[in-house]
Chain A
Amino acid sequence: MDVQLELLINAVVAGLLLGGFYAAVTAGVSISFGMLDIVNIAHPAFIILGSYVAYIVNIQFGVDPIVISIVMLPAFYLLGTAIYQIYYQSFERRGQESLRGLAFFFGLLFVTEVTLILTFGVDYRYVEASYIGPSLHLGSIDFPLRMLVPCVTALIMFGALQLFVTRSFTGRAIMAVSQDQLALQLMAADPIRIKRIAFGISIATTAIAGALLIIIQPVEPSVGREYIGRVFAICVLGGLGSLPGTLIAAMLLGVMESITATFYGPSWAPAVSFGFLLLTLAFRPAGLFGR
């Protein structure tokens, strides 16, 4: 096979795997920003928090990071509901969410990051699991398990979320609250409670996303910053609040970044996602798949 073509195919496959992981990272933002209109700019900081939780338990007890993240889901859910409560009481109820709410999350981002730096230092941390080293080979195409396992986990999580929001009563109520809060209230559902649950779920996804992140790459506290633009780019591209749209956008971005990194060098990869976000915002703010 042609070397260039082989390189391209490998880049596309790597991009799809990366995209699956990006989808897991973005799922929470799709819920909080897309459905609830809460601009949680601190989302990546919680992902890093998830990474560190996975790291500590993994190093201490040798438990698989993904198992740890599933066990930690309720804790992150409670953290999310608590943050929403503060956010609602201080900003949403007073109608000040635009400026001060943004500043609040921005501050939260720094507090989380610096606290992690002060506790763990800026050394890169990594976890140990049996699937981190080896790769599957399919002809000349590589499937590193380090990427494949996170991608599959992300897809399962996405499937579960999609089933939840389309089939369960609470899930449908979350979709409804993003469309018409008053109408939901008339159906005798408390929009604040629904939003609290939804925000809790959005933060809960960071436990899993964090564990996946530390499987894919070593993590230090400020790694999260690279993901701020990426998650919002994917979320906007996917048409705000649509989970299938988010998945497709994440894959698209993963492939573009991977191709850029392969053919032009990794130092250009961040500009791809952010540049794409700027272009999307400028020319197609409803997203690629928006109505």
Chain B
Amino acid sequence: MNTIKFTLICLLVGAAVFVGGHLFGVGYLFFAGYTILQFVVLASAWNILGGYCGYVNFGSAAFFGLGAYTTVFFYKFFPLPIPLLIVIAAIVCGVVGFGMGYLTLRLRGAFFAIATLAMAVVLQTLVVNWDYVGGSRGAYIVRDEMIPIFGYSIEYIEYLFLLMMAVSIIAIVISRTIARTQLGFGFASIRDDELAAEATGVPTLRLKLIATTLSGALMGMAGAPFPYYIGYLQPASAFGLEYGVNSIAMPIIGGTTSWVGPLVGALLLGSLQQIATVTISSAVNLLIVGLLLVAFVVIAPNGLVGLVQERLKAWRRK
């Protein structure tokens, strides 16, 4: 199946989900769905660097928060339509991802992981001390009830949902395309044995920089509409480690070697968290994520996708 066909199928599925939700007519579905789609983007973006190249990024929250605060900045400075803000956030976070990668990727993997964690805190401190975007008091974003598109007037949350659906389709298509091209093989060679890859002429630093830039840009795109979604943004919520743990847990639970894993992980874990938040409490849902993450890395290192593949292999052998 080529990329164009695949994209069309994604668009069809996305449209079907949207129309189905619209006909169902429960606003909360869009509210919950937005969060789940946001995790689809974050998980897919994390997987480009973490799953394909084997470099662990703890700082997903840094890129996510940076994307969100790009929006806050423009909201105060000169309000722009959200799709444009998403593009701007992608550029800003891509550049930051590139810089971050350039500074740290020559080091061993563990240093990169620690540096990403550090970056989340540095950015959070900068935002806390930056009064223009609200500082530690946070910033209010006022959004309209309804928004007109293509002659129809739809509820704002549905509009945000549509945007996030588009971003997640972009993320999935990019992640699938990478895995099937030469770029993906380069990434895999870095993951399996970086020294051997270097020795056989794979331009490892350049490939890793491509990965951090892409991954950072996608995470920023996930963050850009967030202030409009939440209505009130404060540094602690935009840069929360929760995004870090979720965007690691989802690909690992789903499976890190293909584009399917993060999608499956995000859909499952995202829905599970929505249910747990509503029925129990939000602290419990983080506990669930943590426990599942630990359980999966110990028991099923290849995630759900890996488990299914093993079953299929065993079944075929019979």
Contacts and interface: CB of A to CB of B under 8 A. Distances in A.
Contacts of A101: 297
B125 interface: yes
A107 B110 contact: no
A99 B115 contact: no
A152 interface: no
B121 A278 contact: no
A233 B109 CA distance: 16
Interface string B270-286: 00000000000001101
Interface in B23-72: 50, 54, 56, 58
Given A102-B113, A104-B298, A271 B287 contact: no
Contact of A274 (B118, B248, B297, B301): B118
A90 B54 contact: no
Interface string A228-243: 1100110010000000
Nearest to A222: B241
A156 B115 CA distance: 31
SS of B interface (majority): helix
Interface residues on B, range: 35 or more
A282 B256 CA distance: 28
Contacts of A114: 283-284, 286-287, 290
SS of A interface (majority): helix
Interface in B90-120: 103-104, 107, 109-111, 113-115, 117-119
A267 B129 contact: yes
A73 interface: no
Interface of A: 33, 37, 39, 41, 86, 90-91, 94, 96, 98-104, 106-111, 114-115, 117-118, 225-226, 228-229, 232-233, 236, 267-268, 270-271, 274-275, 277-278, 281-282, 285
Interface of B: 50, 54, 56, 58, 103-104, 107, 109-111, 113-115, 117-119, 121-122, 124-126, 128-129, 136, 241, 244-245, 248-249, 252, 256, 283-284, 286-287, 289-291, 293-294, 297-298, 301
